[in-house]
Amino acid sequence: MDDGSGEGAMSTNNGVRSAGTERVWAALDSFKIEVPSWGFANTGTRFGKFMQPAAASTIAQKFADAAEVNRLTGAVPTVALHVLWDLPKGLGSVDEIKGLEAKHGIKSGSINPNLFQEQEYKYGSICNPNPEVRAKALAHLIESVEIGKALGSKDVSMWVSDGSNYPGTQSMRRRVEWMEEILGKTHAALGDEQRMLVEYKPFEPAFYHTDIADWGMALELARRAGPKAKVLVDTGHHYQGTNIEQIVAWLLHLNALGGFHFNDRKYADDDLTLGSIDPYQVFRIFHEMLSAKKDETAGVAFMIDQSHNMKGKMEAMVQTVVAAQEMYAKAALVDQEMLAGLQDECRLVEAEECFRSAFWTDVRPLVREWRTARGLPADPLDSLRTGRYLESITREREAANAGAGSSYA
């Protein structure tokens, strides 16, 4: 048993691996995280965007970038797709995506319908008072489900951006009813292996109310929609100070956690790279996952949802996956048995030190060893910088990326 001092991170003792090392290796072997196609594209803020010469503009380029991140880290078997951005012909784009899957050896991950970009959605999509707009949104959701089926992808990730900006301008209650009806119909269209993930967000783009503002609303909507609906926790979609790991613990307890959108933030939904502001929070969330029962965490999807405006796209994504692996390794170092004993006896400082010492342990040498043993580059970021990929995509794409970018176009 580890003593909680961080000794558990020591790789071998006379050739015998410590229990902590065993746990870290097992955790790293099982750790998979999905990257978002949009994390490789030129995105910005509502004020504008700074174009990067190597950014991806086509779905073929996004697949190639995601595959390179997977080659460097061994942890990225899938890429999330946003229907309007990546499958502009809807179901008609599926063959092209299948070709890219075969070419690059990675699969399509979650399918993200887009209910926020089209002109009709000014006053909402599935909560719009106009039944014709709701019908259009439902048709898009059903097509997204069909796309998922055709690609053999498991999750349809629903972010409903609907809401209102001023008190009294919309009936929050009637909008709930409209939303429930459409989520129920979308659920009914799901195939046997498919799930629907309901994402919540308390602000932006609406600033008075959003129709799915928190995990309670998302949970109830998912429950009413049906058994294949679960809650999606985007770490940036909370008020400051929210105890996200407690929400995770509750959702796990209720067998209602579908997955995560990981990112970091200082103020709002900043979509900064994971662990850049508060790595301890990532550790605490991973601890909840690793200390839960196996059946509670089965199928929970780890996904990245970031927008890299200043950092190089490829660098930011590799850095994120590496950071995620390191935080997961740290969380795996926690000696659960010892911690539970200390908690039961209310030995507060010892329990906290047992927990914290795992966080403070430098796992990088151990993760490096694991990478080498698995035939992966020991330092993925360094391999990215010294390899040819970045140079070649910069050369290929720079002409297309030249020029100033206005906001979200």
134 binds, among ligand LRH, Mn ion, none (CB under 5 to 8 A by kind): none
Angle at CA of residue 278, ends 248 and 407, nearest 5°: 95
Please say which residue, 112 or 357, places its beta carbon nearer to ligand LRH. 112
CA 196, CA 231: separation in Å to the nearest integer?
8
When asked if residue 34 is in the footprint of Mn ion (CB under 5 A), the reply is: no
Residue type, 48: G
- C-alpha dihedral sign at 340, 301, 126, 407: positive
List the one residue from 155, 199, 211, 326 that touches ligand LRH (CB under 6 A): 199
Which residue is it, tokens 């080498």?
372
Q: Does 269 help bind Mn ion (rule: CB under 5 A)?
A: yes
x-marked contacts with Mn ion along 232-251 as a string, rule CB under 5 A: --x-----------------
CB of 19 to Mn ion, least distance (A): 36
β-partners of residue 195 are 155
Q: Rule CB under 6 A: which of 204-263 touch ligand LRH?
A: 234, 261
Please report how many Cα atoms fall inside a 13 Å half-sphere around the Cα of residue 250, on the Cβ side.
Answer: 11
The continuous run of DSSP H or E covering 111 comes out as strand 107-112
One of 37, 108, 112, 128 touching ligand LRH (CB under 6 A): 112
Among 162, 305, 326, 335, the residue binding Mn ion under the rule CB under 5 A is 305
Asked if 38 contacts 81 with a C-beta cutoff of 8 angstroms, the reply is no
Q: Which amino acid is at 191?
A: G
Q: How near is the Cβ of 305 to Mn ion at its closest, in Å?
A: 4
What number of chain residues touch Mn ion (CB under 5 A)? 4
44 burial level (CB within 10 Å; 0-12, 13-18, 19+): middle
Q: Show the site string, 316-355: x = touches ligand LRH by CB under 6 A, - = not.
A: ----------------------------------------
Question: Does residue number 287 form part of the binding site for Mn ion (CB under 5 A)?
Answer: no
Q: Which of 68, 155, 296, 305 binds ligand LRH (CB under 6 A)?
A: 305
DSSP H helical ranges for 10-55: 19-30
> How big is the site for ligand LRH, counted in residues (CB under 6 A)?
9
* Alpha helices (runs of H) in 35-171, residue ranges in sequence order: 59-73, 83-86, 94-104, 131-151
Binding residues for Mn ion (CB under 5 A)? 234, 261, 269, 305
Binding residues for ligand LRH (CB under 6 A)? 38, 112, 159, 199, 201, 234, 261, 269, 305
